[in-house]
Amino acid sequence: MYVWTVLMDDLLNETYLTLGGYVEVEKYRYFYFVTIFMFYVLTLCCNFTIVFLIVIHKNLHDPMYIFIAALLTNSVLFSTAIYPKLLTDFISEKQTISHPMCHFQYFIFYSMGGAEFLLLSAMAHDRYVSIFKPLQYHNLMRKTTVCVLLILAWLVPCCLVAGSTVLSAKEKLCNFTLNGIFCNNSIYKLHCVTSRSLSVYGVIVLLIIMFLPMIYIVFTYARILIISYFNCQTIRTKAAQTCLPHLLVLLNFSLFCAYDVVVLRLETSISKMARFIMTIQMALYNPLFHPIIYGLKLNEISKHLKKLFDK
């Protein structure tokens, strides 16, 4: 409620920011628009196809597949925070965004990004229980437990990112040109004074929704792979089939987050064209990575996909 009040106060002032990260929009606007539109449609179709398969097939109603459906839905929400505004900007004469809408995009972008890490950690916990406590699995991973994990995965980052959104929105602006094509942590560069409290709070949020889940995921899968290595070939194969896709998704999204942080720190050292190309590539590539990995690497989903397209 407080976030909404701050955004409404900004709306009354109607401050606009220029998105200065675009390159030669006038020359390539239709190429950009068609490319982004195709990727957006492809992202929606690929993600929702697998979600649809998980929903309609009862043998995919296990916690692992429910978490995958949640992860793919989160990926769609994450990409929706970026794609529609990109499409609008490519066909507009000026690439601008209002101050409150910029912070709203920032809020959705980082809330969904944090939810991604927490969902992956929930999936790691599910795999850990299934391999180390198979007899207790159904008691430990009941529907109630799965629902609580899903709610926390979205609620915790939303609450934490809401705090940084409010703090950032209240800061006075001395610069009105954002060095990017959407609102990420580059908005801190617009502030007149670097806020110590905002910096400290940002580090705390980063630890809670990114580094701690990542440490837990790496520790969990490392232990699973080490234990499975000393077991029979069947167990090793099963562990690899279930853990590898999650680790690939974690690695991919971690690189995306690292890029988001590094670009802010090194934006003066990277040319505008290089930054634009890298940002577009990451925005296009990341949301499509999940359905491809889970569709190809998990046998049960792969089987249903083949049946769907063989009809």
Q: What ranges do the domains of the chain cover?
A: 2-7+25-310
State pTM to two decimals.
0.87
Sequence-ordered list of residues with C-beta below 8 angstroms from that of 19, at least 6 positions apart, any chain: 89, 95, 96, 97, 178, 180, 181, 182
Tens of pLDDT, residue by residue, the chain (311 residues): 545 454 454 444 568 888 888 888 888 889 889 988 999 999 999 999 999 999 998 888 899 899 999 999 998 998 888 899 999 999 988 889 998 899 999 999 999 989 989 999 999 899 888 888 888 988 989 999 999 999 999 999 999 999 999 988 888 888 888 888 888 888 888 888 888 888 889 889 988 998 899 899 888 888 887 877 776 666 666 666 677 777 778 887 777 777 777 666 665 566 777 777 777 777 777 788 888 887 766 778 888 788 777 75
Distances (CA, A) of 274 to 201, 243, 270: 30, 34, 7
Q: Please name the fold of domain 2-7+25-310.
A: Rhopdopsin 7-helix transmembrane proteins (1.20.1070)
The dihedrals phi and psi of 96, each to the nearest 5 degrees, come to: -130, 165
Tokens matching residue 229: 């290595």
Distance CA 248, CA 16 (A): 39
Considering Cα of 57, then 63, then 68, then 69, what sign does the dihedral take?
A: positive
Q: Give me the pLDDT at residue 13, please.
A: 54
The whole-number pLDDT of residue 235 equals 63
Q: What pLDDT, on a 0 to 100 scale, did the predictor assign at position 2?
A: 47
Residue closest to 73 by CA, chosen among 123, 122, 116, 125: 116
What CA–CA distance (Å, rounded) separates 106 from 175?
17
Q: Of 22, 57, 15, which is closest to residue 305 (Cα–Cα)?
A: 57
